[in-house]
Structure 1
Amino acid sequence: MPTHDPYLWLEDDSAATRAWCAEQQAHTAAQLDADPRFAALADEVLEHLRDDERVPFVEAHAGWWHHFLQSPAHPRGVYRRIRPDDYRANRDAWEVLFDLDALAAAEGVDWHLAGIDHCTERPARCLLSLSADGGDAACLREYDLDARAFVAEGFQLPPGKHSVTWRDPDSLYAAVVLSEADATASGYPREVKLWQRGQPFAQAHSLLKAERNALAVSAWRMLNPDGGEPVDIIEEALSFYRTRYWRVLPDLSRQALPLPPKVDIDGVVAGQLIVRLNQAWGELDAGVLLALDWQALCAGEIDPLPLFTPGPRQSVDGALAGRSCLFVHVLDEGVSQLWVFTPTADGWQAQRAPLPGQGQLEMVDQPWQSNGLLFGYDDFLTPSTLYWLDADDATLAPQALRGQPPRFAAEQMHAQLHHAIAPDGERIPYFVVARRDAPHDGQRPTLLYGYGGFAVPMTPFYLGALGRQWLEQGGVFVLSCIRGGGEFGPDWHEAALAERRQVAFDDFLAIARQLIADGLTCPARLGIQGGSNGGLLVAAAMTQAPELFGAVVCEVPLTDMLRYTELSAGPSWIDEYGDPADPEHYAALAAYSPYQRLQAGVRYPATLVTTSSSDDRVHPGHARKFTARLLALGQPVQLYQSDAGGHSGQGGDMRQLAAEVARVTVFLYQQLMDAA
């Protein structure tokens, strides 16, 4: 594999790089933004984003429901609240608490909201995380919602990749990056401190300082709803998937918890610590959700009680602790289930709550000191609805609060689950959404979407604008559930981990070949799309089997897997991809690294690559260099690099987001629908 990199300079934010990107931007705009369909599509997407009838997903604090709204009048957004009865009655009784547009105008900064953290014991006090460009690094300021003002002499920090949580109304657990010495090699905090109100941060009490080669540290408090002793935890992330947990003792010393390194802590219920296993532990398999007596665990006594043991095509996607119950989100063949576990004198009682259909659940909020749950539900053809579930109600019947109106003619469509067979014989699920009358003539414009990494599951979601702009125009949408994701638990994820990464690509290519073999589409009409790790997926797919595809949408991707650890947050992903400094891992990475695999004499499909100059997670150099090499090979490629929005592209001007969605849609129209 050649070591010379002629496009290394595109990793720098130099004048030459900016000029090159501007040139590519102009070329892309001439091809896509100038298309007669672009403006109308962007307006339609913007209308959807600003739709007053979109469901406000709220968080409950002190008898109010809170929501962050972006609208034509407030493109950056306002934070507001409403009484639950007014929300249920659909009354417009919102009170604005914080206006991000007003702050941006007053300070002359293009602020993006990165997060809001209420103090549970004093909910009117919150920590605002503000990013100047939408990147991961954000400043922190304390805000008083009752006074509608920042707190004088309150907690505040300059921009950084901080992790800060409330301990009580007058102290924080603060893991802060103020200089390179404060950061791990991945750029995240390496020391966590207890920071008291009125205290200079330099004088805050250090609780733990990790080695520089660790991933990050953080800490948080889990309050006891009955007023008992809280549980204070330090999370020392040794790497992306290995963690050492510590208990913070009353004298601020720490005690190591006897837990395996691959676990997630989900809360405390009735003195029981709720833990998800991401590895086998004794006789317990990976994926099991269990309870551990907190006091016994602190005394070194380990007697785990399994609460839910997933089947071979199931996984526990998450859990939230209520006052005296536990809400558990289970995926079964990629479809959501909601379970409620309640401790009794005879053990734990499990009940399954009814859901509206075969779609996805989002646990939105669990209000403090209640057994209630706010959750959202949608599927490919059903718009999002916010529900309230009261676990104290024996029926566990969810109450619909608000639903979004339909965006397309769902009655004309159907969604079906299919399976492809991977080269090693594994059954790989994928969902196909299309018009009921779509012929299997091998000519359907088809968009195959994938991710396949970091144990993130792909589940049914409402297609919204895509339904109108793609399905109603005769297009087909396919969602892949390949290995590397979290659809079926830790084993499904680890099957494509590190040196086994090719498994994810093989799964994805198997689905593409199955779509063609079934007579749904053909290579000229088959497009693929993925972002971030999904961008790596589609870049690998197009370099390994370019003959299968007519178009590729490669968003904020990783492409140079031999240098990814040298760029931005790359070192944090060594657990996922392997380390190019390790000879065994290097060989596996070099075998598929899309940037290096591009070669002369091969015809690659038309490709749209997107990135952001403010992306401080996946370096934009990946997208730039991949584009440059394709251009040098005379291939049909376009690059669009935005200036704001960071890695997610969210949180800023909705007009920019609408234009980006419209640009992708036009590209797909041109490549997959306009062709004869």
Structure 2
Amino acid sequence: MLLHVSAAQRPAICIPATNSLRSRLRSTGPALTWPRPFAAAAFAAVIGRAKRSFAVGSMAKEDPHLWLEEVSGEKCLHWAKEKNDVTLKKFGHPEGTKMYTKILEILESKDKIAYVRKVGDFYYNFWQDADHVKGIWRRCTLEEYKKAPLEVNWELVLDLDALSKAEGQTWVWHTPKFIDLGPDEPKDICLLHLSPGGSDAEVIREFNVEKKEFVPEESGGFTIKECKSGVSFKSRDVLLVGTDTGADGDMTDSGYPSQVREWTRGQALKDAPITFHGPTTDVVSYSDRYFDRGVFHESRGRAITFYTSQYRWLHEGQWKIVDVPEDMNLSTFGDRFQFQLRSVWEVAGRSFAQGSLLSISIDSFFSGDLGKMDVLFAPTASESLEDSCGTRNYLVLSILEDVKTKLMFWEYKDGSWINRGEEGLGMESCSLAAVEADHSDELWVTVFGYTRPSSLFLMTVEDLCAGKLPSMQPLKTLPSFFKSDDIEVQQYFATSLDGTKVPYFQLSKEGIACDGSNPTLLYGYGGFEISLTPLYSAARGVAWLEHGGVWIDANIRGGGEYWPRWHQAALKANRSLAAICAPVCHSRIFDPENHQFLEEAEEANVPSPF
């Protein structure tokens, strides 16, 4: 028989849930749907709201499981121990087994790529290993970074382990925000975001990277107490801050800023004037100022829900409403707005399909000349926009064509967009990051796949567009932790009950016998418009594929594979993991009579379709 164990029945090693967040940022420039840290925070807020109460008839009731959110609470820890004991009694303790030891060695391996971020003349990296559990922040020159990993001469900027010990606090690293006042101004100070114990709340402290030390409060250094805050530099001595000062209306019902203050160095934060506020029923309100390809932008926004926002823009000295659909994602490319649509937009006598990427000069937009809208991407039945990356003069789009990645290149020249063609990646994936978007067309390109560990390349957009990636030597690469030369990756399509074609990837040994004897794991994820694309997993390789197991990744609806219609089609009863079972059984990869197992889907807390 085909055995499915539901989430409620399945024993599992339980770890009390932390507030880890799944970011949904999709951006073509520095201005995101919500500026960091709020994009990911809103996800937690929306889910948190849903968890805190539920409706029965017309009455709202408290969630009886709210205590599970107290991750270090005695009741929560006791519950986790009870569930662990059930699992260990049934399956035995994994520690000490050969497989456990092998996987642990992989997870703790120092063979990691030290990804860097260029700021000024240096390339910064945050690194954690067995010797630096909480981590060290370090930097080097490009010449050093190009050396073999063990030969790089890193300069220590901050030791988080030493800081935690000295201050008696367990600090967890969050991404710092550097000052950026234009190409002629130094980037010598930043705001370090440090989380006590790994919570969403952060302590924000000004740090001088030249002196490699915090700027003391008594010397006028900016410090924001533990809170789910948002902050942006307006100038060297002025911050735009959303945080809890104790005043009424500071925070939303979701626990994020509702008001923004303009805080001048040396001033008490509670005395800083409020410059923008939104309803406390929103997820968050924020303000941001940044430099993008020669243009300063200052914006204000309300994240009404996870998928809807309203924007205001400082244009020609006046605050103006950005009159666009609330579910649209907004970013910038120099002096242009970029719009990614989640619904059809009828404007200026034209109709733009959901999932499209549009571009228009900010001056044209606010003058009402919307007929000048450029279409950089329009979805088809098989294509969707997965991501985008902008350099000084180029915009590179990552497009999924039936879940396989291809890149589309646009050059911005003399005020117009020029299409420079496409390059396909086959069964492999890639991630792109600009080295320094304001100044160059260089990219960090990371390539990976089901059987290919990550390789990092440093190259120009021109070379990537010219198809030179396959012939280039990677700057950094991960080792292959499992034997993959005999692993075959194939893509198939199942048909859902409503006739929709549902893609899935199958990983197995080459020449697998279709006799129903193959142990098979079926995995699916469909939620929050996140696509399930080819990804290297060493643990999956050593624990499953090397032993003849078959792995299937199902691109069930709810994800972003055919974004956004694919996600919206699955919001009710149209999940489709079960549709994958029929063709897999029919192919005789496995036989239900052989007691093979299927792993259930992760579907954003939606019950399994079985």
Amino acid at match of 1:99: D
Closer, same or farther: CA 125–311 of 1 in aligned 2, 3 Å: same
1:128 matched residue in structure 2: 192
2:309 matched residue in structure 1: 243
2:230 matched residue in structure 1: 163
Closer, same or farther: CA 210–288 of 1 in aligned 2, 3 Å: same
CA distance in 2, matches of 1:56, 1:67: 6
The Cα of 1:198 is off from its aligned counterpart by 2.8
Amino acid at match of 1:526: F
Spell out the pairing of 1:239-638 with structure 2 (5 A cutoff): 239-248=305-314, 254-269=319-334, 271-282=335-346, 283-303=351-371, 304-345=373-414, 347-352=416-421, 354=423, 357-367=426-436, 368-391=438-461, 395=466, 397-398=468-469, 399=472, 400-497=474-571, 500=572, 502-504=573-575, 507-522=576-591, 524-528=595-599, 533-534=603-604, 536-537=605-606, 540-541=607-608, 544-545=609-610
CA distance in 1, matches of 2:561, 2:136: 35
CA contact (8 A) 2:577 2:601 kept: no
CA distance in 2, matches of 1:449, 1:62: 43
The Cα of 1:337 is off from its aligned counterpart by 2.0
Query: Does 2:155 match 1:95?
Result: yes
CA distance in 1, matches of 2:298, 2:262: 11
Deviation digits for residues 352-403 of structure 1, max 9, x if unmatched?
4646643222123441421222121101011101122313557363453211
CA distance in 1, matches of 2:494, 2:416: 41
Of 120, 143, 148, the residue aligned with 2:207 is: 143
The Cα of 1:23 is off from its aligned counterpart by 2.9
The Cα of 1:431 is off from its aligned counterpart by 0.8
CA distance in 2, matches of 1:73, 1:508: 43
CA distance in 1, matches of 2:137, 2:229: 22
CA distance in 1, matches of 2:119, 2:69: 45
- Secondary structure at the aligned position of 1:411 is classed as coil
CA distance in 2, matches of 1:51, 1:405: 10
Amino acid at match of 2:369: E
Deviation digits for residues 633-656 of structure 1, max 9, x if unmatched?
xxxxxxxxxxxxxxxxxxxxxxxx
CA distance in 2, matches of 1:7, 1:520: 43
Amino acid at match of 2:216: A
Over the aligned positions, Cα root-mean-square deviation in angstroms equals 2.8
CA distance in 2, matches of 1:30, 1:66: 46
Identify the structure with the greater helix proportion.
Answer: 1
The Cα of 1:300 is off from its aligned counterpart by 3.3
Deviation digits for residues 560-607 of structure 1, max 9, x if unmatched?
xxxxxxxxxxxxxxxxxxxxxxxxxxxxxxxxxxxxxxxxxxxxxxxx
Bigger shift: 441-450 or 146-155? 441-450
Closer, same or farther: CA 219–414 of 1 in aligned 2, 3 Å: farther
The Cα of 1:206 is off from its aligned counterpart by 2.4
The Cα of 1:490 is off from its aligned counterpart by 1.4
CA distance in 1, matches of 2:272, 2:467: 46
Mark the runs of 5 or more structure 1 residues left unpaired by the alignment: 546-676
Of 144, 166, 172, the residue aligned with 1:112 is: 172
CA distance in 2, matches of 1:9, 1:113: 27
Closer, same or farther: CA 313–194 of 1 in aligned 2, 3 Å: farther
Deviation digits for residues 158-209 of structure 1, max 9, x if unmatched?
2222222333433333222456843323222222333333332223342321
1:22 matched residue in structure 2: 81
CA distance in 2, matches of 1:6, 1:349: 54
1:47 matched residue in structure 2: 105
State TM-score, norm by structure 2.
0.80
State TM-score, norm by structure 1.
0.72
CA contact (8 A) 2:353 2:379 kept: no
CA distance in 1, matches of 2:101, 2:213: 35
1:190 matched residue in structure 2: 258
Mark the runs of 5 or more structure 2 residues left unpaired by the alignment: 1-54
Deviation digits for residues 36-89 of structure 1, max 9, x if unmatched?
654x44443343234333222221111222211111111221111121122223
Closer, same or farther: CA 265–320 of 1 in aligned 2, 3 Å: farther
1:214 matched residue in structure 2: 282
Q: Which has the higher contact order (CA 8 A, sep 6+)?
A: 1
The Cα of 1:457 is off from its aligned counterpart by 1.1
Bigger shift: 396-405 or 178-187? 178-187
CA contact (8 A) 1:222 1:267 kept: no
CA distance in 1, matches of 2:84, 2:392: 53
The Cα of 1:422 is off from its aligned counterpart by 0.8
**Count of equivalent residues:** 529
CA distance in 2, matches of 1:75, 1:241: 36
